[in-house]
A and B are shown apart, each in its own frame.
Chain A
Amino acid sequence: MPTIRQLLSQSEIIPDPTPERLQQIEAALKDDSQSDMPWYLRLIVAVGAWFACLFIIGSFLALMGFHDDNRSGYAIFGGILLIGATVLANARLGVFMEQCCLAAGLAGQGLLYAGLLPDHDPLGNATLISVVLAAALYLIYPDFLMRMITSLIAIQLTLEWVLHWRGYDPAASLFFSQSAPEIPIWIPALVAVCYIVRVVVMAGCFVPVIRQSANLAPLGYALVLSLAAWPLLGLFGFAMHSGPIFDGILYPHHYPVWLNYINPVFTAVSILALATWAAGGTGAWKIHAIPFAGLAGVLAVIIWTGASTILLPVLLIMLGFFTQRRVILGFGLILLPIFLSFYYYNLSLDLLAKSATLIVSGLALLLLRSLLRRGEIAEQPTL
């Protein structure tokens, strides 16, 4: 990989960077370099900070007493914790205090929920609180993990609220049977819109080159986790069911078939768009027409065979690879075999037919690989 000095010297935009400019960049890089503390020391610090913090909070809660009448007290105490954590986090007092503030901040949020949520139908209030907290903390709390966790909570609660809107209960569709209740047609539309919005925003956090990119990264990671959450839950909840399963909702078989293809098709289009962006723009379509056509064909085959659950991990792998986000890349690499295994496991075929399907799939991939090796000379540096 080229160094920053090499990139600067090769840049057509900064043909001759001045020494002052180089010093400015070097100073920023030194500031930016992660704490001089190795990760295992940070881990020990974090463990100690979390334990200490939780014991302190437990001590105050024990003083207050664990009664239902104390709920307003929980909310007040939670608010104080959150404000204190935010103020101290902004003071940037080191790794230990950073972790203490994270623990205290999350505990404070939990106490706020415990104190403010009504007994009846708490989902709407929880969603509102989560969105307000996520927005406020994103602006004033300068910590990656805090931003990511609060964003993830807000996103998931919002999705649950949307799905429960107007009294619809997704649990009834999750355990689908012959006499399942009718699912209103706007539910699949809402699910699709929620999915599309999340994918677009996730890509928007990592792909465009804007000044807020670094600050948007926690939101992007939260969306990555959110996108994977429902399919994972759906896989483990629907182990005995076949048919297109996407985003954790299994639509009745008497509904229009195209409903089940909204998300897969959009994901496939996203993969093509990402490949186009990585290749340098739409101009690459003319230069690499056959590979792009091949990619589109492979994606179409995946959707047609009903293996569309693997498209999300493929999208994450590509996003992580081309934006050099190793966590997203690793997450996608972990999800791919899981989703693929569940796809083959849930096929309504006997063992012999599954065996043949697996072997043919493997041979098809080997054929694809040999075609690619013939078409392009793989002279990449070793990893």
Chain B
Amino acid sequence: MNTPSSPLDRAASIPQLRRLLADDVLQPDEVRHMEKQIRGQLPWKLWLDRGLLSLAVALIVSGIGYFFAHNWTHLTDTDKLGLAGGAVLIAFLGSLYAGADHFVGKLLLLAASLLVGVFIAVFGQIYQTGADTYELFQAWALLILPWVALGRFVPLWLFWIGLLNLTVGFYWPVSLNRPFGIFGVLDSEACFRAETISLFVLNFIALAIREGSSRTVKVPWLDRHWSAWILLAATLTPATCETIFEILQTWNWSTSANPSSVFIHCVLALVLYAALIGGIFAYFFRIHPSLPALSMAVLGACCVLITLAARVFVFNGGPDMAGVLMLMAIVILLIFGGGVFLLREISRHLPSTE
């Protein structure tokens, strides 16, 4: 995006004019006149038109929902399935009619994908399949996969990734009761570990696909900056949580059943997390320059470092709370200050930022 060189050539706003008035740069009469001109060009008719339409659609859809809620107990199972399935079909046909290349068509495809979930929920309610929650999300993701592949719509693709995340997230707690799960019987700590690691791997793969597609194969519909940030956040969050978890596990490591295992897990997590942050820095500094992505990595690293510092300084039953709190404050200042300093230095050398 080209930024105008002079602030005088950027779009004016009323709050900006008020600040200039407060600085005595403009006079009240001048500001009044300029504001009148700005207000005259505000698209209030468009906002009113779209607002009335959105509100009307929401009210009518809610009314239809209330109608079905009133009659739900009087409907037969066939009617219920027919209605749910019919909604999916109507949305899908509407998408085909509008055209998959048009925004309205893509929105209708997204709506159809959402309604598939409603259909599965109704199906599960009627037939009491006894399926676990993760199986419902798994089925949902599988059923809409063709639409995701052919729809070429980033929000739909991210929604599908979200479904996979939910599938994985709901799988591991259930696996506690499954002696023949992938990794055998898991205790709660191993379950948490498995969840965070699998979520990290899943979202990392999605991020890699996104970055690889937009860079090498040049898939234009995937090339949306914000999708990279969302996937990076989804990758960093479980990795950060897992690393913090391993650090916190060492709090009572001397009294745990397997102290060496606890220590090894912590060191391994820290090493791998450092490698991840280093990789993110290398990629988003050299290959795909992005200050927001680097900022996310710095924030995650700061959280881990602070947890590590707290673990090191706050011993079990530490006697001197005042001293510890002061020390933690200094450490936080150093860590966050260092992170911001690093980002500011990087921003000066970034080829181009988003």
Contacts and interface: CB of A to CB of B under 8 A. Distances in A.
Interface of A: 1-5, 7-8, 10-14, 22, 24-26, 28-33, 37-38, 40-41, 44-45, 47-49, 51-53, 55-56, 58-60, 62-63, 96, 209-215, 217, 278, 280, 321-325, 337, 340, 344, 350-352, 354-359, 361-363, 365-366, 368-369, 372-373, 376, 378, 380-383
Given A1-B12, A378-B46, A41 B7 contact: no
Interface stretch (B33-41, B97-105, B208-216, B218-226): B33-41
Given A209-B32, A214-B18, 16 more contacts: A4-B8, A5-B8, A8-B34, A13-B33, A41-B344, A47-B299, A59-B321, A212-B22, A214-B15, A325-B14, A355-B63, A355-B69, A361-B59, A362-B57, A362-B63, A372-B48
Contacts, number: 249
Contacts of B16: 4, 29, 32
B325 A55 contact: yes
User: Looking at chain B's contact residues, is the secondary structure mostly helix, strand, loop, or mixed?
Assistant: helix
Interface stretch (B236-244, B250-258, B281-289, B330-338): B330-338
Contact of B12 (A4, A55, A278, A355): A4
A32 B178 CA distance: 62
Contacts of B36: 280
A307 to B, nearest CB: 12
Contacts of B298: 44
A314 B261 CA distance: 60
A3 to B, nearest CB: 5
B28 interface: yes
B307 to A, nearest CB: 12
Given A28-B20, A58-B325, A7 B46 contact: no
Interface string B295-329: 11011001000100000000000000111011011
25 contacts: A2-B41, A4-B12, A4-B34, A7-B34, A10-B37, A11-B33, A28-B25, A29-B20, A32-B16, A38-B291, A38-B295, A44-B295, A48-B333, A55-B329, A209-B21, A214-B15, A217-B15, A321-B44, A323-B15, A352-B66, A354-B66, A359-B67, A362-B56, A362-B57, A368-B52
Contacts of A217: 15, 18
A381 to B, nearest CB: 6
Interface in B31-88: 31-49, 52-53, 55-60, 62-67, 69-70
Contacts of B52: 365-366, 368-369, 372
Contacts of B13: 1, 324
Contact of B47 (A58, A63, A280, A383): A383
A378 B60 CA distance: 24
- State the 10 A-B residue pairs at the shortest beta-carbon distance, nearest first: A48-B336, A358-B63, A362-B59, A29-B7, A351-B70, A359-B63, A55-B329, A362-B60, A59-B325, A355-B66
Interface residues on B, range: 35 or more
A59 B23 contact: no
B157 to A, nearest CB: 24
A58 B58 CA distance: 49
Contacts of B122: none
Contact of A324 (B20, B38, B62, B291): B38
Contacts of A209: 18, 21, 28, 31-32, 35
Most A-side CB within 10 Å, residue of B7, B9, B40, B322: B7
Contacts of A62: 321-322, 325
Most A-side CB within 10 Å, residue of B16, B20, B53, B59: B59
Given A40-B292, A369-B49, A3 B8 contact: yes
